[in-house]
Amino acid sequence: MHQTGVRIAGVGHYVPTGVLTNADLERMLDTSDEWITTRTGMKERHVAAADEPTSAIAYRAALNALANAGREAADLDCLIVATVTPDYAFPATACILGAKLGISGKPAFDIEIACSGFIYGLTVAASLIRTGVFKRVLLVGAEELTRLVNYKDRSTAILFGDGAGAAVLEASDVDCFLAAELGADGSNPENLYLPLSGTAGPPITPDDVEQRRNTIVMNGREVFRFAVTKMIAATNVALSRAGITADDITWLIPHQANRRIIDAAAKHLEMPTERVIVNIDRYGNTSAASIPMALSEASAAGKLKDGDVILFVGFGAGLSWGAVAWRWHMSTNGKIP
Ligand code: ACO
């Protein structure tokens, strides 16, 4: 089989301008800045405008990633959007994004695996390139989870924000994909799910909408316990597959769901705080967008150097989880075969 390398050639992100602070939430709910900060590490999150669907913020992030890569939309062979908050149940948001980018006709599809979306997407996009199917793929994680939140439920309302992050992946002489570990267990979907949103259960009624029964439901403690365990386990498998150890990780870029989850996983992996990328204070949990947003910010801040090893790790509804070990090689153009 034809096999080539893959690298990330550019990254970008975008957040809507609306901001929801802990002080705002204090006015809406029986909560406090102190509780939210100590239990989650969050201070504020961004909220999309009513006329700003997921494809709109995905588009802005995509343009930023393309500019960062020095590429045009016309250079892309395929578009992938990781999201659980698509513009519509169908068509795929990636199709709409393709039209916005002026490249209708190019293959485009969504990956729906919640907060693990970017990790799964990275594995799929890298595989499509390494096997020679495509030379250049745009992968976007874009979410507007604030639309699915019940702002009367303090246990979930405080957690989520909107945003998008994107990466341009392309064929390269240098192979940056080191290893992946992905997993899912759907035996208890109600631990984290959106009721009344699909074909399971009765049709949604006006009363359901009135009572906000069609909003995120989560067993926070169960998800917390699962998250720490799976982040550590997935990281260890990915590292072992890559033939490296935690000492070889230059940057840990975890899904930003809860500062305490990140700290617990980092502590277990003996990763010093300064090597863990965290931006949860400013964005909250942006699901599939959180990892590419953190990556884009780290790149823009000049933190990432060619040769660095990045460990992406995440978890989410499914329940699902994944880790990818990746070698950063952006500034030097790998020759395209
Ligand atoms: N403000 C004040 N008090 C609160 C709030 C709030 N916003 N929310 C809950 N509490 C109260 C509870 O009612 C409870 O009170 P009680 O002791 O009188 O019963 C107390 O605080 C403790 O509640 P816990 O649920 O035990 O709090 P915990 O420390 O577990 O933190 C949290 C809750 C932040 C939700 C945590 O469990 C968590 O982060 N879990 C993981 C969430 C996650 O990662 N989700 C991923 C979703 S991504 C996706 O795929 C869509």
pLDDT, tens digit, 9 for 90 and up, residues 114-157: 999 999 999 999 999 999 999 999 999 999 999 999 999 999 99
Rounded to whole angstroms, the Cα distance separating 55 from 67 reads 18
| Residue 284 alpha carbon to ligand 1 centre in Å | 14
pLDDT, mean of residues 88-98: 98
CB atoms within 10 A of CB 315: 29
Domain range annotation of the chain: 1-337
Distance from the first to the final alpha carbon of the chain: 15
User: Would you say the CB of residue 115 lies under 6 angstroms from ligand 1?
Assistant: yes
Q: Is the pLDDT of residue 36 over 60?
A: yes
pLDDT, mean of residues 11-35: 98
User: Would you say the CB of residue 223 lies under 6 angstroms from ligand 1?
Assistant: yes
| In the block, residue with structure tokens 């990275």 | 122
pLDDT, mean of residues 303-323: 97
Please give the pLDDT value at position 89. Answer: 96
For residue 205, report the phi and psi dihedrals to the nearest 5 degrees: -115, 165
Please give the pLDDT value at position 1. Answer: 58
- The tokens for 101 are 């980018």
Catalytic residue annotation: 115, 255, 285
Q: What is the SS3 assignment for 172-235?
A: ECCCCEEEEEEEECCCCHHHEECCCCCCCCCCCCHHHHHCCCCCCEECHHHHHHHHHHHHHHHH
- For 228-265, give the DSSP string: HHHHHHHHHHHHHHHT--GGG-SEEEE--S-HHHHHHH
Please give the pLDDT value at position 201. Answer: 86
Residue of minimum CA distance from atom 12 in ligand 1: 155
pLDDT, mean of residues 180-206: 95
**Is there a contact between 239 and 325 (Cβ–Cβ < 8 Å)?**
yes
Mean pLDDT of the chain: 96
Kindly report, residue by residue over 230-251, the tens digit of the pLDDT.
999 999 999 999 999 999 999 9
Cis peptide before 25 (omega within 30 of 0): no
Please give the pLDDT value at position 31. Answer: 98
Look up residue 46 and give its amino acid. Answer: H
Please give the pLDDT value at position 276. Answer: 98
Q: Is the pLDDT of residue 58 over 80?
A: yes
| Residue 157 alpha carbon to ligand 1 centre in Å | 10
- The tokens for 261 are 């989850």
In the chain, % of residues over pLDDT 90: 96
> Which residue among 29, 45, 221, 280 has the greatest number of ligand 1 atoms within 8 angstroms of its CB, and so is best to mutate?
221
User: Smallest Cα–Cα separation from 3: which of 133, 103, 170?
Assistant: 133
User: Which residues, other chains included, contact 191 with Cβ-Cβ below 8 Å and sequence gap of 6+?
Assistant: 218, 219, 222, 223, 226, 319
User: Would you say the CB of residue 192 lies under 6 angstroms from ligand 1?
Assistant: yes
Which atom of ligand 1 is nearest to 285's Cα?
48
Q: In this predicted structure, which of 72-76, 139-143, 198-202, 259-263 has the lowest mean pLDDT?
A: 198-202
Looking at domain 1-337, its CATH architecture is 3-Layer(aba) Sandwich (3.40)
CA 294 to chain centre: 9
**Is there a contact between 297 and 279 (Cβ–Cβ < 8 Å)?**
yes
Q: Is the pLDDT of residue 90 over 90?
A: yes
The angle subtended at Cα 275 by Cα 181 and Cα 65, nearest 5°, is 70
Which atom of ligand 1 is nearest to 156's Cα?
35
Q: Is the pLDDT of residue 336 over 50?
A: no
Kindly report, residue by residue over 286-298, the tens digit of the pLDDT.
999 999 999 999 9
Please give the pLDDT value at position 63. Answer: 98
Q: Is the pLDDT of residue 275 over 50?
A: yes
